[in-house]
């Protein structure tokens, strides 16, 4: 019984379902009559999704940062379809010179935008048919950069090429960018060096060893660009000179017996978005006070011994003091001449063996001379010290003992 009822029920449901399925068939004419005009149904509105048209060098969709077509160096062609936007991304290594050349092929112009790795806009070229964008990278500004091409108005169509060129900086011939701070300063030796700064590369740091008793001479020449800010810094990283906006500077420093060490040169861009190249010539010589091949002593304990004769020496900058020690007799004459190129003056004081001053300060100006006559001053024979103090810039002098 139960089985029969179940069968009946199933059969009835089948009939109902088939009736429902055939339902519409029963009223075909009624449906068609009040329906909207056929044309309206037959013209579906196009989907407002910009799918874009892919050029040889792009992959659609590339309409957002996330979809950006990865590109490498070389030329590629892109196609701008109606409502299309084309994003590209490319890897830029540290220390390079990035060059992007954009050219519109068909049509009037395009809007071209550049973005940094944080997707921050760094350049916008509105309605342009041609763009050349060059950027210097420092040692940390590399990363993924983006380029976006947009039609100047809606439904604009056209095609374009993008050429990506990566050149290396070659600061001081090291094949990259010179350091951007003290820690990454590029070590250089004496000789000529050239470098470039600009854009992300706002500063180039160089470091070089200057020996004790050395004479450091730095010649800076700006080649391209209006001017540079050139700083010289001592081993404690303290600034010893700053030029401000200059295209040429020569800096000479004398070292005493302890002021040698690692010195720094920082070439800075005078303003943002600046580009320029420069050369540095580093010359390192040794002082040769009294022909000893080094700097004359800086205190009584290290005073350089001299005998009768004529001696050349230099003092100034970091070598403020030169001390000589000699044996005098009753008619000894000491003559001191300041070189004509000595910037201002030297000051002399004579001390006896007990390091007690036996003369006042004697100032000898540039190009002049003075003598200390032992007979005239009634100075007793014995050991004496000549203490020479240089005005800051200093220069050359001659000591004659007879
Ligand atoms: Ca550089
Ligand atoms: Ca640099
Ligand atoms: Ca000296
Ligand atoms: Ca000295």
125 CA distance to ligand 2 middle (Å): 27
Ranges of beta strands (E only) in 107-227 are 110-115, 121-128, 130-136, 143-150, 158-168, 186-187, 191-198, 203-210, 214-224
| DSSP type of residue 199 | T
145 CA distance to ligand 1 middle (Å): 20
Q: Residue 180: which of 231, 237, 138, 241 has the closest Cα? A: 138
373 CA distance to ligand 4 middle (Å): 24
Q: Which CATH architecture has domain 69-167?
A: Sandwich (2.60)
369 CA distance to ligand 4 middle (Å): 20
**CA atoms in the 13 A half-sphere facing the CB of 369:** 11
Please tell me the predicted confidence (pLDDT) of residue 151. Answer: 87
Please tell me the predicted confidence (pLDDT) of residue 4. Answer: 44
pTM over 0.85: no
Domain segments of the chain: what residues? Answer: 69-167, 171-286, 289-401
42 CA distance to ligand 2 middle (Å): 64
* Cα gap 375→387, rounded to integer Å: 20
* Cα gap 373→385, rounded to integer Å: 15
145 CA distance to ligand 2 middle (Å): 19
256 CA distance to ligand 3 middle (Å): 6
Please tell me the predicted confidence (pLDDT) of residue 64. Answer: 93
* Cα gap 338→368, rounded to integer Å: 6
Which ligand is nearest to the Cα of residue 256, counting in written order? 4
CB distance 319 to 287 below 8 Å: yes
Whether 69-167 shares its CATH topology with 289-401 is answered: yes
396 CA distance to ligand 4 middle (Å): 12
Please tell me the predicted confidence (pLDDT) of residue 82. Answer: 82
308 CA distance to ligand 2 middle (Å): 53
Q: Residue 104: which of 96, 95, 112 has the closest Cα? A: 112
Averages of pLDDT over runs of 10 residues in the chain (402 residues) are: 44 43 40 42 35 64 93 91 90 96 86 96 90 94 96 85 94 95 97 95 97 97 90 97 94 96 95 88 98 97 97 96 97 96 89 97 96 96 97 91 96
291 CA distance to ligand 3 middle (Å): 11
Q: Which CATH architecture has domain 171-286?
A: Sandwich (2.60)
Instruction: List pLDDT tens digits, range 38-51.
Output: 344 433 333 333 34
Residues around ion ligand 3, judged by CB within 5 A, are 289, 295-296, 315, 319, 322
392 CA distance to ligand 3 middle (Å): 13
* Cα gap 112→152, rounded to integer Å: 10
236 CA distance to ligand 2 middle (Å): 21
Which ligand is nearest to the Cα of residue 168, counting in written order? 1
Please tell me the predicted confidence (pLDDT) of residue 332. Answer: 97
Instruction: List pLDDT tens digits, range 149-173.
Output: 998 888 888 889 999 999 999 999 9
* Cα gap 308→295, rounded to integer Å: 19
Please tell me the predicted confidence (pLDDT) of residue 316. Answer: 95
Please tell me the predicted confidence (pLDDT) of residue 274. Answer: 84
Fold held by 289-401: Jelly Rolls (2.60.120)
264 CA distance to ligand 3 middle (Å): 22
């Amino acid at each position: 019984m139960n089985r029969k009822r179940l069968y009946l029920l199933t059969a009835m449901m089948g009939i109902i379902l088939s009736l429902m399925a055939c339902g519409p068939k029963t009223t075909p004419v009624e449906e068609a009559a009040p329906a909207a005009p056929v044309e309206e149904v037959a013209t579906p509105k196009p989907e407002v999704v910009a799918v874009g048209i892919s050029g040889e060098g792009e992959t659609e969709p590339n309409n957002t940062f996330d979809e950006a077509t990865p590109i490498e160096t070389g030329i590629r062609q892109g196609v701008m379809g109606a409502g299309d936007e084309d994003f590209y991304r490319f890897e830029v290594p540290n220390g390079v010179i990035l060059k992007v050349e954009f050219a519109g092929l068909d049509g009037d112009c395009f809007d071209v935008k550049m973005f940094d790795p944080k997707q921050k806009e760094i350049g916008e070229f509105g309605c342009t048919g041609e763009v050349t964008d060059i950027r210097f990278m420092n040692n940390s500004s590399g990363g993924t950069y983006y380029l976006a091409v947009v039609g100047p108005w809606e439904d604009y169509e056209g095609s374009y090429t993008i050429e990506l060129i990566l050149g290396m900086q070659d600061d001081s011939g090291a094949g990259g960018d010179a350091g951007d701070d003290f820690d990454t300063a590029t070590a250089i030796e004496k000789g000529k060096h050239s470098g470039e700064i600009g854009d992300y590369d706002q500063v180039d740091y160089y470091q070089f060893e200057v020996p004790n008793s050395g004479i450091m001479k730095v010649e800076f020449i700006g080649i391209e660009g209006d001017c540079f800010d050139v700083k010289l810094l001592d081993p404690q990283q303290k600034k010893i000179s700053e030029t401000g906006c200059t295209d040429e500077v020569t800096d000479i420093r004398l070292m005493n017996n302890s002021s040698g060490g690692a010195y720094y040169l920082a070439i800075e861009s005078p303003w943002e978005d600046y580009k320029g190249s420069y050369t540095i010539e580093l010359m390192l010589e040794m002082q040769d006070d009294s022909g000893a091949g080094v700097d004359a002593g800086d205190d009584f304990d290290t005073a350089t011994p001299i005998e009768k004769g004529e001696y050349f020496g230099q003092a100034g900058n970091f070598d403020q003091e030169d001390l000589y020690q000699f044996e005098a007799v009753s008619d000894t004459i000491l003559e001191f001449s300041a070189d004509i190129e000595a910037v201002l003056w030297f000051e002399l004081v004579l001390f006896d063996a007990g390091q007690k001053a036996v003369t006042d300060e004697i100032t000898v100006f540039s190009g002049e001379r003075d003598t200390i006559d032992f007979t005239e001053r009634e100075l007793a024979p014995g050991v004496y010290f000549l203490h020479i103090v240089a005005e800051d810039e200093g220069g050359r002098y001659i000591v004659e003992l007879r």
